[in-house]
């Protein structure tokens, strides 16, 4: 018997952390909610991380997901920006882990390949495919859309991950 699994996808960022919640039942996907947690750029780093933590904790509490998926950090030329993104990503992984959820990580190219069929694509392609895959989906901005794409990626890969865990255990 197949059960409905609720997944939260998280697109970490220090300014804006996107989140998207979907449900999967077999091969079907259903949009639940999406949004963005925003930190105040005028505050110090620790306070901004607290804002992200508290905002994501509210989302996890409100939507009660069963599993979480977070996008892996890409390294750019600005080491300071990469480090700050890594700290925001730590919050994005900590919040669901503290809520007892299994947390999976996906590379940006894997997310794009799962949603649009290729590892390199434009944001508009992701938006268009989200509307095809989940016609009732609403999202404001790229961060929430990317978070929904991360959740969809996890929905497509979670069965294989479970099987590998069973075989390894």
Q: Which of 3, 11, 42, 78 is catalytic?
A: 11
Q: Which of 40, 42, 143, 146 is catalytic?
A: 143
Whether the CB-CB separation of 6 and 22 falls below 8 Å is answered with yes
CA distance 56 to 38: 10
Residue 71 is among the residues annotated as catalytic for this protein: yes
Residue 40 is among the residues annotated as catalytic for this protein: no
Strands 5-11 and 103-106: unpaired
CA contacts within 13 A on the Cβ side of 142: 7
Residue 143 is among the residues annotated as catalytic for this protein: yes
CA distance 61 to 42: 27
Q: Which of 71, 105, 122, 146 is catalytic?
A: 71
> Known catalytic residues?
11, 71, 143
């Amino acid at each position: 018997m197949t059960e409905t699994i609720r997944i939260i996808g998280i697109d970490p960022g220090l300014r804006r952390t996107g989140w998207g919640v979907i449900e999967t039942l077999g091969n079907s996907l259903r949009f639940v909610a999406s949004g963005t947690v925003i930190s105040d750029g005028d505050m110090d780093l620790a306070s901004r991380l607290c804002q992200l933590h508290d905002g994501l904790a509210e989302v996890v509490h409100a939507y009660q997901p069963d599993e979480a998926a977070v996008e892996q950090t890409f390294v750019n030329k600005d080491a300071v920006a990469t480090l700050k993104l890594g700290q925001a990503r730590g919050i994005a992984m900590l919040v669901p882990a503290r809520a007892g959820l299994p947390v999976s990580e996906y590379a940006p190219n894997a997310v794009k390949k799962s949603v649009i069929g290729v590892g390199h694509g434009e944001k508009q392609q992701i938006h268009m495919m989200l509307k095809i895959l989940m016609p009732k989906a609403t999202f404001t901005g790229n961060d929430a859309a990317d978070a929904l794409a991360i959740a969809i990626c996890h929905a497509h890969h979670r069965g294989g991950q479970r099987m590998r865990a069973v075989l390894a255990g």
